[in-house]
Amino acid sequence: MGGTFIAQLIPILLQPLLKRIFTVEEFGVFDLYFRSVGILALIFSFKYEGAIILCKKRSDSATIYTGIIILGFGLFLVTELVLIILNSVGIELLNIPKKYSLIVYLVPLSALFFMINTASQFMFIRQKRFIASSTLKIYRRGTEGLVQAGSGLSGSFWGLPLGEAIGNFSAALVGFLRLRKEVRTHLPADLLLGIKKNARNFSDFPKYAFGSNLLNTFILSALTFQIFAKFSIEEVGYAELTQRMLTIPTALIGVSLGQVILQRFSTAYNNRSSISKLFIGLLAFSALITIPFFITIYFWGTDIFGWVFGDEWRTSGMYAKSLILSTCFTFVISPFGQILIALQKVKLNSIWQLMKFLVIGSLFFLQFQSIESYLKYYNICLIGMYSIYLIIISLSIAKYQKEANETIH
């Protein structure tokens, strides 16, 4: 968590500067780019990186890691080719100003680097090398911040996406170089056979985890895409700052908490030991973190945004006040979705992800008189879905606990 805190603090501290040197429209375009990278990175891996944690043998984890890189590189080449073909026949994927149109070709490259970085972090987590995992995050955010700030001061928009891409590249490179010796040592003699074997053994990840996580990633990006579809690129820019600031607790703590939960509960599941107290303690810890955050944003968010980022960004503060309650629900509950993975309830988790996708996705088909009205309905949908998620997780833990107790007796 400490390493994640340092890594995420870098872009947070840079925001007051970046928001004064880039326009609202430029941040709107960048947010569309950033969300597209996240979705494509998930497609490149088919979520096989999650299997790295569950491997009992080092040779299996090394094989999966190598297979993910090979798969991602192949899909990257195919994606770039498709984009070139679509452009040649006049098809545009994003209806953005022409001066930003070349940004679509940078999306697959950044997604490839992001995917390799994620796979490397799972390798480090499996080995309980949490400092190494955190270091990758620091490399990524540090490089990204330097490029974005430097290019912004020179007046170039391209520093925003290039900074993100170069940051992903630096983290991917460092992680790969640190792991290459161990991976090479434990690779099987017949790599292709090993990849096929592990692809079959962990086929639940592309079958169930991939689909559910793709839906979840899309839902996390739905606010950006729905605002872009219904309102304007400038509104996307305001919402970008809102989302960035509201995800501070998740960025600083939530991601690492989710990784720790996966490791702890996976170990408990394999040992058939109790998990109820661990669940309650971590849930209470998450809830306590959100209380001061909720109070600050709800009562003083608009003024804080205007003071820190400039009066132009007070609109982002108003959006933050509208979304703070659902944000707190998401932060507290979402990391515990890893419990369903640890308990091998991948299918159940996928069903909930599909439900959430359908509920949030339905907003695409509704008309709203104003963005404030849209945000209200979006807020209600998230609160309802995460309340259901907590119930599902609690029932799964209760069922596991009962079975574990019966095994002991």
Whole-number pLDDT of residue 249: 74
**Distance of alpha carbon 188 from alpha carbon 336, whole angstroms:** 35
Q: Phi-psi bin for 361: left (phi > 0), alpha (psi -120 to 50), beta?
A: alpha
Whole-number pLDDT of residue 408: 55
Whole-number pLDDT of residue 256: 64
Average pLDDT over every residue of 44-48? 90
Amino acid symbol at 217: T
Whole-number pLDDT of residue 403: 76
Whether the CB-CB separation of 340 and 346 falls below 8 Å is answered with yes
Whole-number pLDDT of residue 252: 61
Top-confidence residue, 25 or 251 = 25
Whole-number pLDDT of residue 253: 67
Name the residue among 354, 334, 56, 43 with its Cα closest to residue 202.
Answer: 56
Of 18-27, 319-328, 331-340, minimum mean pLDDT range: 331-340
pLDDT in tens, 150-189: 887 676 788 899 999 999 999 999 999 999 998 999 898 8
Whole-number pLDDT of residue 47: 87
- pLDDT band of residue 96 (cuts 50, 70, 90) is confident
Whole-number pLDDT of residue 211: 77
Average pLDDT over every residue of 43-54? 89
- pLDDT band of residue 99 (cuts 50, 70, 90) is confident
Q: Is the pLDDT of residue 1 over 70?
A: no
Whole-model pTM?
0.80
Average pLDDT over every residue of 208-217? 77
Neighbours of 88 (CB within 10 A): 8
Name the residue among 95, 170, 90 with its Cα closest to residue 138.
Answer: 170
Whole-number pLDDT of residue 402: 81
Whole-number pLDDT of residue 251: 63
Average pLDDT over every residue of 37-50? 92
**Distance of alpha carbon 205 from alpha carbon 51, whole angstroms:** 7
pLDDT in tens, 135-145: 888 889 999 99
**Distance of alpha carbon 391 from alpha carbon 331, whole angstroms:** 16
Average pLDDT over every residue of 112-128? 93
- pLDDT band of residue 204 (cuts 50, 70, 90) is confident
Q: Which of 47-51, 270-274, 341-345 has the highest mean pLDDT?
A: 47-51
Name the residue among 120, 330, 325, 319 with its Cα closest to residue 224.
Answer: 319
Of 5-19, 170-184, 307-321, minimum mean pLDDT range: 5-19
And the tokens for 245? 């600031």
Top-confidence residue, 360 or 338 = 360
pLDDT in tens, 14-26: 999 999 889 999 9
Among all chains, which residue has been given the structure tokens 């991939």?
210
- pLDDT band of residue 409 (cuts 50, 70, 90) is low
Q: Is the pLDDT of residue 254 over 90?
A: no
Whole-number pLDDT of residue 270: 67
Whether the CB-CB separation of 331 and 254 falls below 8 Å is answered with yes
Q: What is the mean pLDDT of the chain?
A: 87
Among all chains, which residue has been given the structure tokens 């434990």?
186
Q: Is the pLDDT of residue 283 over 90?
A: no
**Distance of alpha carbon 214 from alpha carbon 248, whole angstroms:** 22
Whole-number pLDDT of residue 162: 92
Whole-number pLDDT of residue 213: 77
Whole-number pLDDT of residue 255: 61
Helix (H) or strand (E) holding 22: none
- pLDDT band of residue 115 (cuts 50, 70, 90) is very high
And the tokens for 140? 């990524």
And the tokens for 145? 């911040």
Instruction: Kindly state the percentage of the chain with pLDDT values over 70.
Output: 92
